[in-house]
Amino acid sequence: MSSVLFRLGRFSFRHKWWVLAAWVAVAAILSTLVLTLHPKFAKDFELPGTDGGVAMEQLQKNFPALSQQQTKSRTIVVVGAENGLAAHTGQINKLTGELAKLPSVTDPQTITDPVTAAKADPAIAEKVLSKDGKIGLITVSQDVDLMDVKAADKEKLVKILEDNRTGGLQVEATGSLMQAQEQSMAEVLGFAVAFVVMIVAFGALIAAFIPLITGIVGVGLTMMLLMVSATFMSVNQTATGIVMMLGIAVSIDYALFIVTRYRTELKRGGSPADAAGRAVGTAGTAVVFAGLTVIIAVVALMVIGIPLITQMGLGAGLAVLVAVIAALTLIPALLGAVGRFAFLPKIPWIKHAEESDTADTLGVKFGRAVVAKPIPFIVVGLAILIAAAIPVKGMQLGMDMNSDEEAAAQSLVAKGFGEGINGELYVVVHANDAADLAPAADAAVARIKTMKDVYQPESLAWMGNGTDKQNTNAGADTALIVVTPNSKPSAPQTHDLMESVRALSPQLREQHAEIHVGGQTAIMSDLSAKLDKALIPYIAVVVGLAFLIMIAVFRSIWVPLIGTLGFVFSVLATFGITTLVFTDGALGLIDHTKPLLSFLPIFLVGVVFGLAMDYQVFLVTRMREEFLHGMSPKDAIIAGYRHGARVVTSAAIIMISVFAAFMLSPETTNKMLGFAMAVAVFFDAFIIRMTVVPAVISLLGEKAWGLPRWLDKLVLNFDVEGSAVRNRGLSEETSEPVELTPATPAAAT
């Protein structure tokens, strides 16, 4: 493989303008297709194969108007006053008048004072006004898709709320408008930090720009490919977030590795074209296998069986694939285009920007310390991770997606109406024969009224899908029962209530009917359950396939095993610290604690495992390369630090910065994702890959770099170290590949 990549890198360098033109042409074609086809990302969320999914399908079929209503923006403004709302009629009328002027309000006449509404229609009184008259609800419905709610509209609502908090009247809001996402600056901040880190890494300005260009091109092309794909298949808009985040990170990282190796090869001699070929043949081979590991990790998300997560995985896999291709072709072409100016102008005050075989950099000093006394480093490193993992025993998972800005409104609602007022369960009863529906629906209502945690059970009733507008229950074959829990949507009691309703299925089957529970609350609960069930199979698939790849990469059993076990420690530590901060409220980083998102563990495992193996490949392959070319095991480890510590550290800092930028978001959900990903990369890159793994390899000595004879015959030699091209274009080059004699003793073990 290294020989093929050597020729590809040298070709791209020599024929730079043709290669660059090809990339520009691809971008132009995709841009034209996007402008011509006008593709749109899907905004609906499906959960096939679950009870909630079946319920939503039946709702769409039999109650299309209600189903359509569920996709529209709905915001609840909560008003409260200790002396009663009746004493604030004038203020509330002013508030409702301003709310009615919000964009695309469906029916301004329905936006009224809760006290007035309760008097006008006693049937809805308990749904809009608390029993003590101190808290009321004002519903603002808009003819706007949930996914199209704009941050500008949220700002208008927030301004109205602020202006009307006077005279002892508390005004808060929860729902669609309050969940509108503001334009994220995380990507811009990530690029800015990456640029600074690369200036420090290269000590030169032009070289720092090359990975940035690659990152922008790679992510741009990936997004356009996804948009074109959306013309022919369903691609959810939510799936694009991970594509942006991961695409930026790996594109810059892979470019960083290639450019760094190119500078090393230039110093060794030969023509710049051959240096580019050797860089792609050595570091590029590692990029290919590192990228393959990440692709396996994210594409394996398909085993979960949730379309949205499958699309996230496939999109992320596509982003990594484009990043790998760019690293192998676009980078050498850009290096050829800038020519001898690649590492100019130099920044003189940055020390050790260029590799040296004699300078004792911090990386080399640390490597010597690890090799000299590996056991203390192993003990201390694992002790830190074990201590960080202790809070994991209190980890709770849930799907609380509400923003921090809604907390005040939810507190008021819970005080006046119970916590479940915004977490209704949509119970659907369906009978093939309309004559069987009424008895089955009546029986379901009667049983649900007796269940725990039902809010206002006495008001429960069913609504049919009959064609008579005056009596929709007549001739209906499907009934809808809206059940409001007392507990908040993410509470265990709400989940138990949902399962109790579903447990009525055998009884209703005897009455020739079926029952299903849907709605956002049920869908989120089903999603959590499905993610929990898929976690172990997913880990088995990802770790198993990646372990086999690592055996081929390192031609060793021990190195992949050490790397995989180290990943387990770093992930457990990440879960522990994230639980400590977001569930236990430590360090004061958040104002409102909540369970960890149900999809966080599986998402974290997939992405971070792939990235962890990236650093394993880039750092440890250089150690193996030096060992195969004559160095002692310990000297090879130090050489690996000399050539790889700076670049791996830079890559990890870039990755951490991209993820940590999401912590600037006001949303706890975004903070949680950004924090967990940044902490995971920190633990894995600096404690496991840079400390524990080299220390254990040092203890193993030559045994670390070999396979049993029977396995050595079965595993293909991909020459990840680039031995076949190590001296291509140099004066001392021979026509025969370099003999890898140091591997012989280890291979016999």
The pLDDT assigned to 743 comes to 40
Check: CB of residue 238 under 8 Å from CB of residue 310.
Answer: no
How much of the chain exceeds pLDDT 70, in percent?
92
The pLDDT assigned to 44 comes to 61
Gap between the terminal Cα atoms of the chain: 26
Check: CB of residue 343 under 8 Å from CB of residue 204.
Answer: yes
Q: Is residue 566 part of a domain?
A: yes
What CATH number is given to the structural domain containing 284?
A: 1.20.1640.10
Q: Is residue 658 domain-shared with residue 576, that is, in the same domain?
A: yes
Question: DSSP class of residue 719?
Answer: -
Angstrom distance (rounded) from CA 328 to CA 466: 63
Of 179-183, 473-477, 606-610, the poorest mean pLDDT is in 179-183
Angstrom distance (rounded) from CA 632 to CA 279: 24
482 DSSP β-pair partners = 426
Q: Is residue 539 domain-shared with residue 684, that is, in the same domain?
A: yes
Amino acid in the structure at residue 621 = T
| Structure confidence by residue, pLDDT tens digits, 298-339 | 888 887 777 878 888 888 889 999 999 999 999 999 999 999
Does the pLDDT value for residue 648 go beyond 90?
no
Look at residues 495, 518, 541 and tell me which one is the last residue of a structural domain: 518
Q: Name every residue whose Cβ is closer than 8 Å to that of residue 245 and which is 6 or more positions away in sequence.
A: 186, 187, 658, 659, 662
Please provide residue 719's backbone torsions phi and psi, each rounded to the nearest 5 degrees: 50, 55
Q: Is residue 698 domain-shared with residue 556, that is, in the same domain?
A: yes
| Structure confidence by residue, pLDDT tens digits, 94-107 | 999 999 999 999 88
| Structure confidence by residue, pLDDT tens digits, 486-523 | 888 878 888 899 999 999 999 999 999 999 998 878 88
Residue reference for tokens 């990936």: 222
Q: Name every residue whose Cβ is closer than 8 Å to that of residue 181 and which is 6 or more positions away in sequence.
A: 151, 667
Name the band, by pLDDT with cuts 50, 70 and 90, for residue 442: very high
Q: Is residue 568 domain-shared with residue 711, that is, in the same domain?
A: yes
Per DSSP, helices labelled H in 77-150 are: 89-99, 114-120, 125-128
Check: CB of residue 446 under 8 Å from CB of residue 76.
Answer: no
Domain residues for the domain of 250 are 1-38+203-349
The pLDDT assigned to 617 comes to 78
Burial of 101 (0-12, 13-18, 19+ CB in 10 A): exposed
Q: Is residue 592 domain-shared with residue 562, that is, in the same domain?
A: yes
Q: Is residue 342 part of a domain?
A: yes
Q: Residue 230 in 3-state DSSP?
A: coil
Angstrom distance (rounded) from CA 638 to CA 623: 8
| Structure confidence by residue, pLDDT tens digits, 444-467 | 999 999 998 898 898 899 999 988
The pLDDT assigned to 43 comes to 61
Name the band, by pLDDT with cuts 50, 70 and 90, for residue 356: low
Count of H-run helices and E-run strands, the chain: 28, 9
The pLDDT assigned to 733 comes to 44
Q: Is residue 343 domain-shared with residue 435, that is, in the same domain?
A: no
Check: CB of residue 220 under 8 Å from CB of residue 330.
Answer: no
Q: Is residue 327 part of a domain?
A: yes
Does the pLDDT value for residue 646 go beyond 90?
no
Q: Ramachandran region of residue 220, left (φ > 0), alpha (ψ -120 to 50) or beta? A: alpha
Does the pLDDT value for residue 710 go beyond 70?
yes
Give the H or E element holding residue 429: strand 425-431
Q: Is residue 244 domain-shared with residue 294, that is, in the same domain?
A: yes
Average pLDDT of the residues in 573-581: 93
The pLDDT assigned to 199 comes to 85
Tokens, residue 674:
């950004």
The pLDDT assigned to 722 comes to 63
The pLDDT assigned to 667 comes to 65
Average pLDDT of the residues in 644-649: 84
Q: Which is more confident, 491 or 26?
A: 26
Angstrom distance (rounded) from CA 298 to CA 312: 8
Q: Is residue 550 part of a domain?
A: yes
Name the band, by pLDDT with cuts 50, 70 and 90, for residue 184: low
**Residue 700: Cβ within 10 Å count:** 17
Does the pLDDT value for residue 740 go beyond 50?
no
Beta-strand relationship, 425-431 and 463-464: unpaired
**Residue 465: Cβ within 10 Å count:** 23
Burial 375-398 (b: 16+ CB within 10 A, else e): eebbeebbeebeebbebbeebebb
Does the pLDDT value for residue 735 go beyond 50?
no
Q: Is residue 257 domain-shared with residue 329, that is, in the same domain?
A: yes
CA angle in degrees (0–180, nearest 5) for 30-31-37: 85
CA angle in degrees (0–180, nearest 5) for 711-715-721: 120
How many domains, in total, are found in the chain?
4
Using omega within 30 degrees of 0 as the cis cutoff, is the peptide bond preceding 595 cis? no
DSSP readout, 303-322? GG--HHHHHHHHHHHHHHHH
Q: Is residue 615 domain-shared with residue 577, that is, in the same domain?
A: yes
Closest of 422, 593, 469, 389 to residue 74, by C-alpha: 422
Angstrom distance (rounded) from CA 347 to CA 327: 25
Angstrom distance (rounded) from CA 616 to CA 604: 18
Tokens, residue 223:
């997004």
Does the pLDDT value for residue 71 go beyond 80?
no
Angstrom distance (rounded) from CA 473 to CA 442: 11
| Structure confidence by residue, pLDDT tens digits, 31-61 | 999 889 888 776 666 677 788 889 988 988 9
Burial of 561 (0-12, 13-18, 19+ CB in 10 A): middle
The pLDDT assigned to 196 comes to 85
Tokens, residue 445:
């209502």
Q: Is residue 550 domain-shared with residue 643, that is, in the same domain?
A: yes
Q: Is residue 735 part of a domain?
A: no
Task: Give the CB-side neighbour count of residue 606, counting CA atoms within 13 A.
Answer: 31
Check: CB of residue 382 under 8 Å from CB of residue 692.
Answer: yes
Q: Is residue 415 part of a domain?
A: no
**Residue 734: Cβ within 10 Å count:** 8
| Structure confidence by residue, pLDDT tens digits, 526-575 | 888 888 788 888 888 877 877 887 888 788 888 888 988 888 899 999 99
Name the band, by pLDDT with cuts 50, 70 and 90, for residue 720: low
Tokens, residue 289:
């296998």
Q: Residue 706 in 3-state DSSP?
A: coil
The pLDDT assigned to 500 comes to 94
Does the pLDDT value for residue 70 go beyond 80?
no
Average pLDDT of the residues in 580-602: 82
Average pLDDT of the residues in 655-670: 76
What CATH number is given to the structural domain containing 160?
A: 3.30.70
Q: Residue 465 in 3-state DSSP?
A: coil
Average pLDDT of the residues in 387-408: 83
Q: Is residue 224 domain-shared with residue 340, that is, in the same domain?
A: yes
Does the pLDDT value for residue 746 go beyond 60?
no
The pLDDT assigned to 696 comes to 95
Q: Rounded to an integer, what is the distance from CA 603 to the centroid of its chain?
A: 6
Mean of all residue pLDDT scores within the chain: 85
Q: Is residue 747 part of a domain?
A: no
The pLDDT assigned to 680 comes to 92
Q: Is residue 476 domain-shared with residue 577, that is, in the same domain?
A: no
Q: Is residue 419 part of a domain?
A: no
